[in-house]
Amino acid sequence: MEDEFDPYGLPPEVTTPPHGLIGMLGLDITNKSTHKAVWEAFSLNRRTDRTPLHFRHLSSDFQIPPMKQKRQSYEWYIPKGILKANWITKYLYNIPALIVLFYDLDWNDTNWGEKKTELAAKVQTLKTVLSGRNTRVALVLIQSGISVPGEDTGAAEKAATLCAACDLPAKHLFVLPHSDAHLLGYTVR
């Protein structure tokens, strides 16, 4: 097409509008239909009036590009340009602004203490991988029940202890019931 030709030779990363990168971790979309439904609710069929976002499914062994060490002195440093060649691509496609960790956990689970400890370890490992980056971490509990922390006092207490164990603010914890009828009300399309 003639109208897509850029006479200045600018790369597509500069000429197209950027979309925030959201990493989705902990979803087993091949083996669990619930996880696949959650992934599709977020990533497919987004309405045009919503904020444009780019969702990326992350496997448990995902790698973030390592950070380069900061210079001790810029005295003799001569920059080669305004931006590095891969800087835009790196932040649009490789380093998420937010990583959402999904975890199957009901408020009334019989192994609540063990799962809370396991989840806190996962969050700390994720924070260690992200250390030095401005990537935020959010936690989504996929639950089979419809109870939310505001309705059940036991759930509110467990949510507070979970946030404390994971060292996350309360606004970074979300509850997602996995019944298909309620999924659309909890995800933004």
Q: How crowded is residue 23: how many other Cβ atoms within 10 Å of its Cβ?
A: 23
Length of the chain, in residues: 189
On whether residue 139 sits in a domain, the answer given is yes
Q: pTM for the complete prediction?
A: 0.81
pLDDT digits 0-9 by tens, 5-37: 567 777 777 787 888 899 999 999 999 988 998
Per-residue pLDDT at 13: 76
Would you say residue 21 lies in a domain? no
Residue 98's domain comprises: 26-59+94-186
Residue 20 forms part of a structural domain: no
Of residues 181 and 65, which shows the higher confidence score? 65
Query: 3-class SS at 141?
Result: strand
| Residue 16 maps to a domain | no
Q: Does residue 85 lie in a domain region?
A: no
Please give the full DSSP string across 79-140, using - where no structure is assigned: -SSSS-TTHHHIIIIIS-SEEEEEEE--TT-TTHHHHHHHHHHHHHHHHHHTTTS--EEEEE
Any domain includes 179: yes
Residue 128 lies in a domain: yes
> From CA 145, how far away is CA 14, in angstroms rounded?
45
How many domains are contained in the chain? 1
Contact 41, 184 (CB under 8 A): yes
Residue 189 has a pLDDT of: 46
Query: Would residue 114 count as lying in a domain?
Result: yes
Phi first, then psi, for residue 143 (nearest 5°) are -125, 150
Q: Are the beta carbons of 189 and 46 closer than 8 angstroms?
A: yes
Confidence at 182, pLDDT banded by 50, 70, 90: low
Tokens found for residue 114 = 């063990």
